[in-house]
Amino acid sequence: MINLKRAKLLKGRGNMIKEFNHEEVQCIKTTVSVPMFRINVYLYFIDGLLIDTGPRRLKNSLIPVFKSLPVSQIILTHHHEDHIGMGSWIQSHINKPIYIHKAGIADCEQPSSIPLYRRILWGNSKPFNPEPIPQTIETKNYQFEVIHTPGHAHDHVVLFNRENGWLFSGDLFVIPHPKSSFSFESVPVLMDSIRKILTYDFSTLFCSHAGVIINGKEHLTEKLRYLENLHWKVKRLHLEGMHAKSIQKQLFPKLHSIHLLSGFENSPAHMINSIIDDI
């Protein structure tokens, strides 16, 4: 007898993945949905190189994709669970090197200790053993410069292909005008990373959450302008003697469900405090 519920679930899971090409890059768009929240996660595949592995929650949908790709090496842009979630499966089933910035190796080797809301959203990553990423990644036809870009995560890297003006930007961009950040993020460090990247000659951003952005440099410049303006406002109010909580009330008065759901691991307070710490 056909189990209709199971069949529906599998169909639903299958629908969470869409594949398309941009130039020679294979783009794998996955969507994670929980009540009241839906977020896209993109993986990219080019010339044997898989960039990020997606969240473990989408394991059943991602395994057939990985089995269909001629993967020869894997790069992780950083150690967060929506990027490394399938790392352990890939390590044991696709015997190819997995690279991450050396600062992120320990995060992948240890059992995950993320808060409950992130475990529910992304699934729980299992430990695995990636290798330190070299400064340059070569595939048969392409070369990628690896650039360390902390701020969102201490081990965050982006990949730059000069010939095509491609920037695989991980979570460096995501949105142009963030109104909240995680406790582990730093606005000033992120600004320095964006400034560094804007010195490179790229045009297309391959973002892990926003997808393919054609005028990538303009979008990233817009994000830097927004953060610089925020930095200036927070600094001015702080120097006038205003406390961090009052600055938050003035600049970001709205409370969003993500602040509550995350137990304030995600909050505008982290943006403001990271700027005040920098003054």
The residues binding Zn ion (CB under 5 A) are: 80, 171
Closer residue to Zn ion (CB): 103 or 244: 103
Q: How far is the CB of 232 from Zn ion (least distance, A)?
A: 26
Long-range contact set of residues 44-50: C-beta below 8 Å, sequence gap at least 24: 44/168, 44/206, 45/69, 45/71, 46/139, 46/142, 47/139, 47/140, 47/141, 47/142, 48/72, 48/73, 48/139, 48/140, 49/73, 49/74, 49/75, 49/137, 49/139, 49/142, 49/144, 50/74, 50/75, 50/90
Name the burial class of residue 36, with classes exposed (0-12), middle (13-18) and buried (19+) by CB atoms within 10 angstroms of its CB.
Answer: exposed
Closer residue to Zn ion (CB): 102 or 245: 102
Q: How far is the CB of 3 from Zn ion (least distance, A)?
A: 36
Q: Nearest residue to Zn ion, using CB?
A: 80
Q: In angstroms, rounded to a whole number, what is the distance separating the alpha carbons of residues 178 and 217?
A: 17
Q: How far is the CB of 86 from Zn ion (least distance, A)?
A: 15
Closer residue to Zn ion (CB): 118 or 231: 118
Closer residue to Zn ion (CB): 80 or 217: 80
In this structure, which amino acid lies at residue 83? H
Q: How far is the CB of 153 from Zn ion (least distance, A)?
A: 6
Closer residue to Zn ion (CB): 107 or 171: 171
Neighbours of 54 (CB within 10 A): 29
Q: How far is the CB of 245 from Zn ion (least distance, A)?
A: 27
Closer residue to Zn ion (CB): 244 or 258: 258
Measured CA distances, 126 to 146, 173, 239 (Å): 25, 27, 45
The sign of the CA dihedral 33, 34, 38, 42 is: negative
Closer residue to Zn ion (CB): 103 or 276: 103
Q: How far is the CB of 208 from Zn ion (least distance, A)?
A: 7
Closer residue to Zn ion (CB): 151 or 216: 151
3-state DSSP assignment of residue 56: helix
Q: In angstroms, rounded to a whole number, what is the distance separating the alpha carbons of residues 198 and 211?
A: 19
Which residue, among 62, 37, 28, has the nearest Cα to 206 in the 3D structure?
28
* Token code pair at residue 219: 């979008």
Q: How far is the CB of 80 from Zn ion (least distance, A)?
A: 3
CB 257 within 8 A of CB 179: no
Q: How far is the CB of 157 from Zn ion (least distance, A)?
A: 12
